[in-house]
Structure 1
């Protein structure tokens, strides 16, 4: 949960051109969806949403280009809301999986443009059959919706079985993460075959997207778990201001930025020769569901909070300095020769200076999932990171934090996963679909 080196200016998110097509407004009606996704939505994250349609910033409503060298939703200007859904494949038929991925790709591209899930809408639709779109996003703009897909280790081989003839394409980096200290993992909120990260500036737009993917996937995939997120905990472009996490601190100040192309190439995109050819241009996605003991934190003094984080709560400046974006000075000491940034402070441990130059691209979100049944809020950070190599980037960083981080007194990790995200779909290549490089 380190913090952004951004310019506290109004965000100017990247956006594509609005493609021609039938608007969501021309589709009427709604249909049911997988109970697990509906259950996740009813946790309360949809309540109190601020629709992107109500904002005066037109850029927040516009579409993001779906096609490109890399998938959208990785270095895209980070949106305000997230719906992360993980599926398990329920069939051993390779052709059914490929067929679903093709259907999902077509639907995702349409929804990213702000259109209904299928061409034609309800104009000539049979009123005695379910509508081809569930309808809750009718009239809403695209809200910068991005959909990013990834494949987990079990997608390639499960219970020793090569279900889809792709086990030989499993990257060595795509393996379950080692056991770390300070974690109590819930297997029902960890790993899975396929993930879809839906991000948007309107939670209903993001939910509509994953709901419809789950709906058409029935019989081929089933929802394993879903996580709603509100309030980004990082910035991925230099124009975005630094957000705050549920501990009240600015979060992600030193995050990689999309404009830092050399660093993005070094730390985010899988390069030719890194592993199987199908993943070149893609990235690895790592998640950690981090429960915050916010009741304990709220009874902790400001001085102690700032010692734990290593930054000042108000300005976000490193301890001993005055500006949020000043470089960390790990050598600063007080008049008793004690380090101003504690030896176990979070920002020290995750800094490139401490990790031999390691950096990652973070896209996490705050979450709250009701209570734990014992009078405490079940709330925290759904950590998301994109890395070129989890073995040399994420694992050393997490190992360092799990052993030493002063913040461990106030957090515990309850879920985790790792996925390989394929490259983007190039403009004009109509035969390409999510995972086509893998199944070629």
Structure 2
């Protein structure tokens, strides 16, 4: 990830940076680079600015142009963005005795760093090798020479950020969205609290896993002393698509996943099902969304011994082509009047036509975390969904309580976060919450 000079970069649009927004990392952010993980330095120039050498505020689609995605814009990138191949997801808790100013400056620092990293730049102007050799480098350096690889960074706020057992730590409890509560228990949950929840989350997606890991690693360093990493998850092999030209990928059960996902081109569906509307409350979240993350362990050894015809009956689709068992091709609408589709098959229970029209936008990933204590693969699906209201996901998940697939999966991690709208150029993620 090369750190270009201002002369090397495309000219950035002229922006007016509000006086309250720092033009570089805060002193706490600099200290985080110096102390976080024991491998950073203080050599970031505070005057580089949010616009310094960075293309800002231009929403771009990768593919034809190959250009990176902008961090700034009306919606946060990483939601309708074409799903990249790799994920590093991280949940954070604010440290004890931090205050409102600590939270705001952390979000400003993360936004500043994200605006650089998503453009293929290092976390600072001096980067991994350009600073004082007598101090630790600003950037960890493992992404040197790599492109942005379609990196997107998406930031969210969990229920406990607004209020927890210590009360209203940051003076924002009154602005918590009504629907932003810890998800209820669902039938079959076997949740590990060490893999669940969190005050803040960062979703980093890229086509190169090293780029995604580099982003979380450096953002964690910046947070040092203000927020600590609670848990994280690596993902590979996307299990959804958000554009029509992306082929439908397969999950670790071998089935095409996300055939009927909401696509970025369907603005009507996005407005109805994904984006918080102008009429919704709270006002600061309008244009944003809600993210649900669920770590779903797949009992793959048991599944692999199931007859093919039974696997098809459980899913409700053909394993080869992904077509519904009622006939047609992958994108043919299932005929639920047909006896070919079992009443408790996954495709029937999850279909909007059987769920009062509830739809979600999915961005899931496969994961393999080595072997468990029984010598079996610790593998499954890291499920990510975006919806206008968490109640929509809850309604859908409850409908899946009789899903035949439940015999072969366990939900082991869970969390929900409010995802604010995209930041205006020169501002920071979630600024409206503190207005």
The reply to whether TM is greater than 0.5 is yes
Q: How does 1:307-322 map to 2 (within 5 A)?
A: 307-322=313-328
Tell me whether 117-126 or 196-205 shows the greater mean CA deviation.
Answer: 117-126
Is the contact made by 2:423 and 2:431 (CA closer than 8 Å) also made in structure 1? no
* Alignment of 1:422 onto 2:427: no
Distance (whole Å) between structure 1 residues aligned to residue 88 and residue 410 of structure 2: 22
Name structure 1 gaps, 5 residues minimum.
1-17, 22-29, 36-56, 333-338
In the alignment, the residues of structure 2 paired with residue 31 and residue 374 of structure 1 have an alpha-carbon distance, to the nearest angstrom, of 41
For residues 192-230 of structure 1, the C-alpha deviation after alignment (integer angstroms, 9 at most, x for no partner) is: 000000000000000000000001111001000000000
Q: Which residue of 2 aligns with 1:26?
A: none
CA change 1:349–1:327 in 2 (3 A) is: same
Q: Tell me which of 410, 413, 431 is aligned to 2:411.
A: 413
| Alignment correspondent of 2:349 | 349
Q: Show the counterpart of 1:436.
A: 431
2:82 is matched with which residue: 77, 81, 92? 77
Alpha-carbon contact 1:137-1:204 (below 8 Å) kept? yes
Q: Secondary structure at the match of 2:352?
A: coil
The verdict on how the C-alpha distance between 1:67 and 1:378 changes in structure 2, with shifts beyond 3 A counting, is same
What CA distance in whole angstroms lies between the structure 2 residues aligned with 1:136 and 1:179?
40
Q: CA contact under 8 A between 1:315 and 1:322: conserved in structure 2?
A: no
Deviation (angstroms), 1:93: 1.7
Alpha-carbon distance between aligned partners in 2 of 1:250 and 1:178, rounded to the nearest angstrom: 28
Query: Which of 275, 281, 305 matches 2:311?
Result: 305
Cα distance change of structure 1 residues 141 and 292 upon mapping to structure 2, 3 Å threshold: same
- Structure 2 counterparts to residues 26-425 of structure 1, below 5 A: 34=37, 62-90=67-95, 91-121=97-127, 125-332=131-338, 339-391=339-391, 393-401=392-400, 403-425=401-423
Q: After superposition, give the CA deviation of every residue in 1:154-201 in whole Å (9 maximum; x if it has no partner).
A: 001110511111011100110011111011000000000000000000
Provide the C-alpha distance between the structure 1 equivalents of 2:35 and 2:316, rounded to a whole number of angstroms: 47
Residues 380-437 of structure 1: CA deviation (Å, up to 9, x unaligned): 000000000111x101100011x210000100100100000000023xx41x111211
Give the 3 Å change call, closer, same or farther, for CA 320–280 of structure 1 in structure 2.
Answer: same
In the aligned structure 2, how far is the partner of 1:141 from the partner of 1:160?
Answer: 43
- 1:303–1:222 CA distance, 2 compared to 1 (3 A): same
For 1:205 and 1:184, how far apart are their aligned partners in 2? Answer: 32
TM-score, normalised to structure 2, is 0.85
Using a 3 Å threshold, how does the CA distance of structure 1 residues 396 and 309 change in structure 2: closer, same or farther? same
Answer whether contact 1:61 1:141 (CA < 8 A) is retained: no
Greater relative contact order, per chain length (Cα 8 Å cut-off, separation 6+): 1
TM-score, scaled relative to structure 1: 0.84
Aligned residues of 1:186 and 1:414 also touching (Cα < 8 A): yes
Whether the 8 Å contact between 1:31 and 1:134 is mirrored in structure 2 is no
Partners in 2 of 1:34 and 1:304 — Cα distance? 49
Task: Give the distance between the partners of 1:66 and 1:99, measured in 2 at CA.
Answer: 17
Mark the CA change 1:258 to 1:135 in structure 2 (over 3 Å): closer, same or farther. Answer: same
Distance in 2 of aligned mates of 1:318 and 1:154: 41
Q: After TM superposition, what 4+ stretches of structure 1 lie above 3 angstroms from structure 2?
A: 18-21, 30-35, 57-62, 120-124
Paired residues of 2:240 and 2:257 also in contact (CA < 8 A):
yes
Q: Which range moved further: 270-279 or 348-357?
A: 270-279
Contact between 1:317 and 1:323, CA under 8 Å: does it hold in 2?
yes
Q: Deviations over 1:240-285 (max 9, x none)?
A: 1000000000000001001110010000000123111110100000
CA distance in 1, matches of 2:348, 2:279: 33
2:293–2:382 CA contact under 8 A, matched in 1: yes
Between Structure 1 and Structure 2, how many residues are aligned?
383
In structure 2, relative to structure 1, the CA distance for the partners of 1:290 and 1:59 (3 Å cut) is: farther
Provide the C-alpha distance between the structure 1 equivalents of 2:10 and 2:355, rounded to a whole number of angstroms.
44
Q: How far apart in 2 are the matches of 1:215 and 1:59?
A: 34
Give the Å deviation of 1:369: 0.7
